[in-house]
Structure 1
Amino acid sequence: MKLSVLVLFSVLIASATALPQPDKTIAKRATPTLYLAGDSTMAKGGGGNGTEGWGQYLGYSMNIPVVNDAVGGTSARSYTDQGRFQSLVDTVKSGDFVVIEFGHNDGGSLSTTDNGNTDCFGDGNQTCISPTTGETVHTFVYYVEQAGKALQAKGANVIFSSQTPDNPWESGTFEYTPSRFVGYAQEAAGNLSAAYVDHGQYVANRFQSLGLSIVDSFFPMDHLHTSPQGADVVSAAFVKGVLCANDVLAAHVKNTTGSVPGSCI
């Protein structure tokens, strides 16, 4: 009887050592890459006419490659519909980083017309029918969460970033009221247990401290698109937010928290 027990125990040990190993089919880069998904406020060339997106300056603060996949005129919805999120999902490797920042083109109404960017109003699984195309339109939160889940399934680190503000000094008095998309980005991050940077608030705080004349000079074309100098400040504000949050991307920032202007929030 004792011999049978010993034999059985030996068989179990041998079986355990023969169990399948964890799936290693998801490729991982030796050095991770940081991808950016957003609109013209982040994109190369900004909104044109000499403006620039803040994503073009982020690489100066990082010790890993930065790929700016932001596209002017897009929203979370149109970035999805154009297959750009899927292209990111197909590209990323385990350990890569993806910053998602939309909001400027996501507003509007679907009551009579549809510009292809407007999301369905709501912060969950609400749907609308496009009065122009008849397609089913989802919410901002839905679009970015679906993208975030797919990217996380590939092993990527997703960072949701709130949209940057329009010129808060435009009226001559500093005014910053976060849009609903700021809250939506934070909600999506919480739902996916992903990192979140309140980029909008960090930029607003920095713009407030710089004052009206300097900040006005950052907006040579309109109240949305920044000059290269302004984009550099907006990029630094994102870096400050990453360092203050001390999230997974912070380890790849060259700067120290104290060397980046502004205060943690």
Structure 2
Amino acid sequence: MLTLLKLFAAFSLTVRCTVGQTVYLAGDSTMAKGGGGSGTDGWGQYLGQYLSIPVVNMAIAGRSARSYTDEGRFTTLINTAKKGDFVVIEFGHNDGTSGAVDNGREDAVGDGYNTTATVTEPDGSTLVIHTFTYYIQNAVTALQAKGAIPIVSSQTPDNIWSGSSIAAGPRFVGYMQTVGTRTGAVYVDHYDYVAQAYNKLGQTAVTAFYPLDHTHTSPAGANVVAQAFVRGLLCGTSILKGKVNAAGQAVPNGCL
């Protein structure tokens, strides 16, 4: 009888942790509602149609791993997510160096957790900043401590081609994979799954997805990018793939 009670208690705990699960998204304009403006939209707005649980898009245009941290947005997300919730984190487009004066978004170059850099602020003061991996790692481990399930996702490609293929990804793709390795969080190579989709469609068709610039997608393009993320989920090890619905199971292309 005692064993049965223990089993029932364990089952009840599992149910409480999974019922009512939510997927939260943290990222920049390529994921956010409205994208970069002027007829663009972020892929996070199209993910929900492929999952059986709700998606809350907390991506904000113009943010980097550092500024999302400094503005307290990761703190809000960590406080909001409950045990069993999924959190997809994807940055990189705004994380590059900004020149002689800090733009509030750049990260220290490198993937060392303890690596820092000193930047000059617009008022002439100096500030110590950390690496991309430092900011993302801190968010991931804080979420894991709460029992949430972070998924680290590489940034999406720009509409930049090398011959007949999308150009190779920037250093932040590798940095995000490094975070996954260090923390045990599942890594989705969103960059390469989008590149696979784009390469199949061809440059002319893909260029039509970019009405504003080479970074921000139209709604149609954002949907292709969302489908590529779902394909990455289905080909990976995240338990979130168990929440992919019939529409998600039918997204195009195969595993890399």
Contact 1:244 1:257 in 2 (8 A): no
Say if 1:40 and 1:121 are closer, same or farther in 2 by CA, change over 3 A: same
Q: What aligned pairs does 1:1-265 form with structure 2 within 5 A after superposition?
A: 28=17, 30-109=19-98, 112-124=100-112, 125-132=114-121, 133-169=125-161, 173-255=164-246, 259-265=250-256
Q: What SS does the aligned partner of 2:82 have?
A: coil
Paired amino acid for 1:138: H
2: CA distance between counterparts of 1:28 and 1:77?
30
- Once the two structures are TM-superposed, the CA of residue 248 in structure 1 deviates from its matched residue by 1.3
Scaled by the length of structure 1, what TM-score is found?
Answer: 0.86
Q: Which amino acid is the alignment partner of residue 23 of structure 2?
A: L
Q: Distance in 2 between matches of 1:256 and 1:245?
A: 18
Rg comparison, structure with higher value: 1
Cα distance, 1:256 vs structure 2: 7.3
Match of 2:60, SS state, is coil
TM-aligned CA deviation for residue 260 of structure 1:
1.5
Structure 1 residue 92, shift from structure 2 partner: 0.7
Which residue in 2 is equivalent to 1:8? Answer: none
**Count of residues in correspondence between the two structures:** 240
- Distance in 2 (alpha carbons) for counterparts of 1:141 and 1:43: 21
- Alpha-carbon deviations, 1:91-136, whole Å to 9, x = none? 01000000000000000246x2100000001101201122114222
Q: Residue type of the partner of 2:145?
A: A
> Does structure 2 conserve the Cα–Cα contact (< 8 Å) formed by 1:206 and 1:262?
yes
Whether contact under 8 Å (1:39, 1:75) holds in the other structure is yes
The structure with the greater share of residues assigned to strand is 2
Gap runs ≥5 in structure 2: 1-12
Task: Give CA-to-partner distance per residue, 1:211-261, whole Å, 9 cap, x none.
Answer: 122101000110000000000000000000000103211011113776221
Hey, what's the Cα distance between the residues in 2 that align with 1:258 and 1:243? 8
Structure 2: how far apart are the matches of 1:118 and 1:219?
25
What's the secondary structure of 2:120's corresponding residue? coil
Partners of 1:221 and 1:233 lie apart in 2 by 17
Amino acid at match of 1:241: G
**Aligned AA for 1:237?**
A
Which secondary structure state, in structure 2, belongs to the residue aligned with residue 64 of structure 1? coil
Contact 2:49–2:247 under 8 Å retained in 1: no
* Structure 1 residue 175: Cα displacement: 3.5
Percent identity of paired positions between Structure 1 and Structure 2: 55
Poorly superposed stretches of 4+, deviation over 2 Å: 27-30, 171-175, 255-258
Which residue in 1 is equivalent to 2:4?
none
Partner SS for 2:216 = coil
The RMSD of aligned alpha carbons is: 2.0
Which stretches in structure 1 are left out of the alignment for 5+ residues?
Answer: 1-23
* Aligned-partner residue type, residue 152 of structure 1: Q
